[in-house]
Structure 1
C-alpha cells in the first residue's frame, strides 16, 4: 500500500476513535441514572430530623426509619439539624441530590408554616417531593401543674390580668400557630418562647419556667401528673389517661382545626425518580400498617393517618393556606412583608 493510502487509513481510524471517545461518555452518562435507580438503595439512607432529639418528630422518625431500613436492606441514619422552626433541616434536604439517599422527616410546621415567618431558600411545594403522611399529633393545651386554671375559659380570664408564656418547639411550628390562632379568637396576649424542639419546651414547663405548652409530647406528661391539661385537640374521647377535660371545640371554639395539633410526614428533594418514590411510599405505608408500629405511634401521641404522596401534598397545601390566614392577619409579620424573621426566644433560666 502506498504511503498516502496508509495515511488515509490512519486518519480514518483516528476519526472513528475520536467519535467513539465523544460518544462513550455520553452513553455512560445517559445510562447512569437508570442504573442508579435500579441499584437503589446500595448504601445507607440519611433521614434528616429537623428538631432536637427526644421530641415527637424524633419519636416518629425512629419508629418508621427502623421498619423502612428492614425493607430497604440498608441502615436509615438519623441526622439531627434543628433550628429556625425546623427550616434548617428542611433547607438542607431541599438542596440535597434527589437520589433517594437524603430524606426529611418533616412536619407541617417546617413545610407549611415556618416559611411564612422566617427567611428560607426553598419553596415548600416546588423544592420537595412528598413521600407519605404518617399522622396527626394527639395534642393538649397543657400548663404547669400549679397553674391557676382548669379549662380554657379560666386560662383566658387569667391571661387578661397576668402575663402568660407559651413554650413551643419553635417559630412556625403547629404549637406556635395554635397559640397565635387562640390569641386571635380570645383577644389575649401570650408571650411566645420558641425552643429548638418539643423536649426543651416541655422540660421548662414542668420546671415552671413557662406556663403553657401546646404540643403532642405534653400529653405524656399530663398522664404522669407533671403537667395539667386544660383542653385536648380532637372530636373523639379524650386521649388515654387525660380525664375530666373537654376538647377545644367542646369548650366553645367551634372554628378550631384539629390539624393544629401537628402533622408528621416523609418527603424528599424535588426530582426524586418515581421508581424510588414509589418504593419509599410503599415502605412507609407498610410500616404504619404494622400493629406494633400503629400502637407505638399512639404511645408517642401520634394518631396514624396514612396517606400516599398525593394525599400528603393536599394536606400540606391545606395547612399552608390556614397558616397564611392566621399569620397574615397582622399578628405576626409575614416574611414577604417584612423580610425579617422573628428573633428566636430563649428558655428562662
Structure 2
C-alpha cells in the first residue's frame, strides 16, 4: 500500500493590487512542482492589507494571523494602494505586514539578486559588468534605527536611536554564514564601524562568530558607502551580503536595479518556525486587473518557499523552468513581451516536468 505523500499547509495572502494575480500563478507553479516531485500542498486564502481592511477593518484580521501561525509557510502577494490612504497610520495596509512579520518572529530578510546572460542586456549597467551576478542580501529586520528607542520629534528637533544587542547580531550573522555554506563560502558584512557605536559592535560580533563558528567561510568587512559603490562597480564580487536594517533597506533596493526590473526579485523573511515569502515589487494598483503583471518574482519567491520546506529539487526545477522562459519566452510586458500574467505562469508550470526529468 502506498504511503501518503508529504503534505504541507500553505497560507496564501493575495493582498492588494496585482497581489491576487501573481499569487494565483505562484500557487499554480507550486502545485505543478508538488505534483512532479511527489508531495502535496494544501492552500487556504486569507485577507491581509487593504483586503483585510475592507473585510474586517483590520490589515491583519485575527483569522488570517491564526492561519499563518498554524501553516508550514506563508505566501504574500502585495499590500497597499491609494484606496486606503485615508486610514490612520496604525491601520494602513503595510502595518498588517509589519505585524505579521513580528508575530512570525521573522528577523532575517533574504533577497537574492541574480542576473543571467539572457537578462544582462536589460540592466541599466553594462551587460559585461552584471552578467553572472548572483548575490544574496541578508538583512536584519527587527532591530536598528527603525525600532530603536528613544525616538521623538518636536517643533525644534527630531531624533532616532540606532541600537543593536549582541544577541541580535549573533543570530543574523549565523543566518548569513549558514547561507554562505550552501553557496560560494563568502560573506561581506556591511556597516559603518568607523563612526557608529552600533556598527562597531556589529563588526566585533560578526568577526567573532565567523572566527569561532564558521572558520571555513571567508569574511570581509566593508563600510556601507564603499559597499554601495561596489554593488554598482563590480556586483559579481559578492556572494552573501550581511547587514543591518537601515543599510540593508538601501542596499537591497540598489541591488534590485541590477536585473533591470523588480519583476524578477523574490524575498523571504525567516526566523521563526513559519517563513514568509513575497515578491519584492509592490501592489502596482495601476496594473491591477489587466492581466499584464509579471508573476516571475512571485514564482521565484515560491521557489524560496520550497527550499525552506526542504524540497530543494522542486525549487531547482522551478528556477530552471523560469530560466528557460527568460531565454525562450513567452515574456511578460515589463520584459518587452506580450504574454499575459496567466500565460507566463502556465509556461513555467508546464516546464517543470521536463526539468524534473533531467534534474
How high is the TM-score relative to the length of structure 1? Answer: 0.27
The structure having more radius of gyration, on CA atoms, is 1
Higher relative contact order (CA 8 A, sep 6+): 1
TM-score using structure 2 length? 0.27
